[in-house]
Amino acid sequence: MSDVTGCLEGHCLCGDVRIRIDGLHDPRPGVCHCRMCQRWSGGVFLCFYASKDAVSIDGPVTRFASADFAERAFCATCGSHLWMRNLKSDDQGYDLMPGLFDEARDWPLRSEIYTDRALASIRLKGDHNRATRAEYEAKNPHIKGDG
Q: pLDDT (tens digit, 9 = 90+) per residue, 16-60?
A: 999 999 999 999 999 999 999 999 999 999 999 999 999 999 999
d(CA 103, CA 105): 6
Higher pLDDT, 5 or 33: 33
Q: What is residue 15's predicted lDDT score, i.e. its pLDDT?
A: 98
> Position 137: which residue type?
E
Q: What is residue 144's predicted lDDT score, i.e. its pLDDT?
A: 65
Q: What is residue 89's predicted lDDT score, i.e. its pLDDT?
A: 80
Q: Is the dihedral of CA 64, 67, 70, 74 positive or negative?
A: negative
Find the length of the chain. 147
Nearest to 7 by CA among 18, 23, 31: 23
DSSP code for 4: B
d(CA 68, CA 50): 21
Q: What is residue 30's predicted lDDT score, i.e. its pLDDT?
A: 96
- For 122, other C-beta atoms within 10 Å of its C-beta total 12
pLDDT per position as a tens digit, 72-117: 999 999 999 999 999 888 888 999 999 999 999 999 999 999 999 9
Specify whether the CB–CB gap between 79 and 42 falls below 8 A: no
Q: 133 burial class (0-12, 13-18, 19+ CB within 10 angstroms)? A: middle
Flag whether pLDDT at 146 surpasses 90: no
Q: What is residue 145's predicted lDDT score, i.e. its pLDDT?
A: 57
